[in-house]
């Protein structure tokens, strides 16, 4: 039996979606196929996202940012956008998604200082962890 595919999508695929992918794998194990991508691509993971996940014992350091374009023709069971209002302008139409969820989580890249960025990443991490746990509970 095929596992339901969950695609986490945001603008850059360097922070929020990477954390969501890591949490889904950690919380749900092999029950879902977790992938993440960005409407636009960044060159590297956000080091604060890697550090924040490591604080909880989850290693996402091997993840790579990916652009959503190669995935547009794939069927996914769940398309989860982790976005603020910005992505509405850049988010592609994803015809292969069966269910669409929007988790409006503040983008930590909006921070003005490194300390604020650190706080926003951890706030996003904690919100994503709760939403992923609720998602798994509701869909298994």
* CA–CA gap between residue 84 and residue 104 (Å, rounded): 5
* CA–CA gap between residue 60 and residue 56 (Å, rounded): 11
Residues annotated as part of the active site:
10, 83, 91
Q: Any idea what the CATH number is for the domain that residue 25 is in? A: 3.40.50.2300
* CA–CA gap between residue 59 and residue 64 (Å, rounded): 12
β-strands 33-38, 76-82: how paired?
A: unpaired
**pTM assigned to the model:** 0.92
Q: Give pLDDT, residue 49.
A: 97
Q: Give pLDDT, residue 125.
A: 98
Domain count, the chain: 1
Domain of 47?
5-139
pLDDT in tens, 63-118: 999 998 888 888 899 999 987 655 555 566 666 678 889 898 988 988 999 999 99
């Amino acid at each position: 039996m095929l596992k339901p595919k969950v695609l986490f999508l945001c603008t850059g695929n360097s922070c929020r979606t990477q954390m969501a992918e890591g949490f889904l794998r950690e919380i749900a194990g092999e029950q879902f196929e977790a992938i993440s991508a960005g409407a636009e691509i960044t060159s590297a993971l956000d080091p604060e996202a890697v550090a924040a996940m490591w604080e909880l014992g989850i290693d996402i350091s091997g993840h790579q940012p990916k652009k959503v374009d190669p995935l547009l023709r794939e069927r996914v069971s769940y398309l989860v956008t982790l976005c603020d209002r910005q992505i509405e302008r850049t988010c592609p139409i994803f015809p292969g998604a069966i269910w669409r969820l929007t988790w409006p989580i503040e983008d930590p890249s909006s921070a003005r200082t490194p300390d604020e960025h650190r706080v926003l990443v951890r706030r996003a991490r904690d919100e994503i962890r709760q939403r992923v746990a609720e998602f798994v509970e509701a869909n298994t």
